Amino acid sequence: MSVRKLPVDFLKDFLSLDKINRFIYIRPRKYVLIKKLHLAYLCTSRGWGGLEMNHLRNALWMQARGHEITVICTKNSPLETAALDAQLSVISIRKPARHYAFWSAWMLLLSLNKRAVKQVMIRNTSDISLGASIAFFSFKRIHVHFFMELMFQEQKQQLYRTIRYSFLSSWICSLEYMKEKVLSSTRVDTNKVCVIPSAFDFNQISPLSQIEARIKLKLPLDKVIFGMIGRIDRKKRIELAILALHQLQSTQFQLIIVGEETPDSPDSYFSELQNLIQEKKLEGQVAFCGFHSETSPFYRAIDALIMASDFETFGMSTIEALAHQTPVIATNSGGSKELLTKFPFGILVEPGNSSSFALAMEKIAERVPENFDAKDFRAYFDHQRICENIESRILSFESVR
């Protein structure tokens, strides 16, 4: 499709036609005509964390660009509630088996065919089998695209996995190291694997100053406050930040934890953290703030974000912190290493070492980040640019850039 400017009067007339609903997407200062697609976003997780939120955000961004969207999710899940609240078309299903959910795939295929859906987006590794089965039963007429957000460590070259992966039309990685790992650990067709970063809507950044954000959140104005924002999960190693805070031996430092436990993986971790806080006598310095759909004020309020996972695949919280120009203290591995090397705005520390975190927390307030180009960062992760990449590179649209 060609891109060209149209006279305003002609555009008004054109917009009055019913058929325009199927073809138009408007960008500032120019008008881009592309064919509208019906896209399905499949996620059967019962959790509500970064992965599920990213899936819904991307669905809404693509809807805003003119595409018709259907969300496929587990009945009574947080994603179902959020998608219905956003007035999206929803297909609610029972939680399918992790492997060989052939009946669920067949029934979904019938629903997708009725809606003329030809493209299915998945993010959760647990949904690969279901997505591949849909592609299989449709004879690959329905294309399934896997946006990888959770990294695996072991080899995935077993025959059954290779066959399953062959039914994916594309495998999208958020970072270069993820692509290298996929190519070395699987037998996925090299041509199917590409890198498209996870996106951020910079219009969602809070205009509040740090003082205004702290007043709004009822946080102390005269303390150095660190934050951990995301789901409360054992893999997040929240205990390292608590132990580091204890080692600092100063009431000047405080820690807030924003998030909740994962419904899909209940365990005793939250209770263990509470016991650790009591044991170290940090009740007045550590606060659990619960889940908040709007996290921007928290990024404004804190002095630094802590990402303590031994290995963070991508770290959407890191991107959100950097977007607010809030420094990040993270482990020197995985996605954190690549992100903070490419966009230096924080400190990388030794994984699993609370003393390293304590030292970084002590220095972060005095450390002035170097070589951080906010403009370049914004351009790299801008959600409109990422959506255009998905349209041109994954959905086979002609590039509109």
The answer to whether residues 309 and 390 belong to one domain is no
The per-residue pLDDT for range 197-228, each reduced to its tens digit, is 999 999 999 999 999 999 999 999 999 999 99
Does residue 399 belong to any structural domain of this protein? no
Distance of CA 124 to the CA centre of its chain: 11
The answer to whether residues 214 and 362 belong to one domain is yes
CATH code, 81: 3.40.50.2000
The answer to whether residues 99 and 191 belong to one domain is yes
Residue in this structure with the two tokens 């609240």, named with its chain if needed = 85
The answer to whether residues 162 and 289 belong to one domain is no
The answer to whether residues 80 and 213 belong to one domain is no
The answer to whether residues 251 and 330 belong to one domain is yes
Q: List phi, psi (to 5°) of 94.
A: -70, 150
Residue 94 burial (CB count, 10 A): 12
Residue 2 pLDDT level (bands cut at 50, 70, 90): very low
The answer to whether residues 327 and 350 belong to one domain is yes
Gyration radius (Cα) of the chain, Å: 22
pLDDT at 3 over 50: no
Give the range of the structural domain holding residue 310, as residue numbers without chain letter. 205-379
Predicted TM-score (pTM) of the model is 0.82
The answer to whether residues 164 and 221 belong to one domain is no
Average pLDDT over every residue of 243-260: 96
The per-residue pLDDT for range 331-365, each reduced to its tens digit, is 999 999 999 999 999 999 999 999 999 999 998 86
Does residue 8 belong to any structural domain of this protein? no
pLDDT at 123 over 90: yes
Distance CA(322)–CA(382), nearest Å, equals 13
Instruction: Identify the pLDDT of residue 266.
Output: 65
Instruction: Identify the pLDDT of residue 397.
Output: 59
pLDDT at 168 over 50: yes
Angle at 282 (CA atoms; ends 278, 284), nearest 5 degrees: 115
Contacts of 177 (CB under 8 A, 6+ apart): 334, 335, 337, 338
Does residue 297 belong to any structural domain of this protein? yes
pLDDT at 1 over 70: no
Does residue 18 belong to any structural domain of this protein? no
Instruction: Identify the pLDDT of residue 370.
Output: 63
The answer to whether residues 291 and 164 belong to one domain is no
Does residue 43 belong to any structural domain of this protein? yes
Encoded tokens for 130: 């279901």
Encoded tokens for 392: 């041109």
Q: What's the half-sphere exposure (Cβ side, CA atoms, 13 Å) at 175? A: 23
pLDDT at 377 over 60: yes
Does residue 20 belong to any structural domain of this protein? no
Encoded tokens for 338: 């690549």
Encoded tokens for 30: 């120019």
Instruction: Identify the pLDDT of residue 365.
Output: 66
The answer to whether residues 72 and 168 belong to one domain is yes
Distance CA(131)–CA(290), nearest Å, equals 33
The answer to whether residues 170 and 63 belong to one domain is yes
Distance CA(374)–CA(200), nearest Å, equals 13
pLDDT at 391 over 60: yes
The answer to whether residues 315 and 335 belong to one domain is yes
The per-residue pLDDT for range 269-318, each reduced to its tens digit, is 999 999 999 999 999 999 999 989 899 999 999 999 999 999 988 888 99
Beta strands (DSSP E) in 55-169 are: 68-74, 89-93, 119-122, 143-148
| Tally of domains in the chain | 2
Query: What is the maximum span of the chain, computed from C-alpha positions, in angstroms?
Result: 71
The per-residue pLDDT for range 130-152, each reduced to its tens digit, is 999 999 999 999 999 999 988 88
Contact between 220 and 251 (Cβ < 8 Å): no
Does residue 16 belong to any structural domain of this protein? no
Does residue 9 belong to any structural domain of this protein? no
Mean residue pLDDT of the chain comes to: 88
Instruction: Identify the pLDDT of residue 239.
Output: 98
Residue 35 pLDDT level (bands cut at 50, 70, 90): low
Q: List phi, psi (to 5°) of 168.
A: -85, 135
Distance CA(289)–CA(315), nearest Å, equals 20
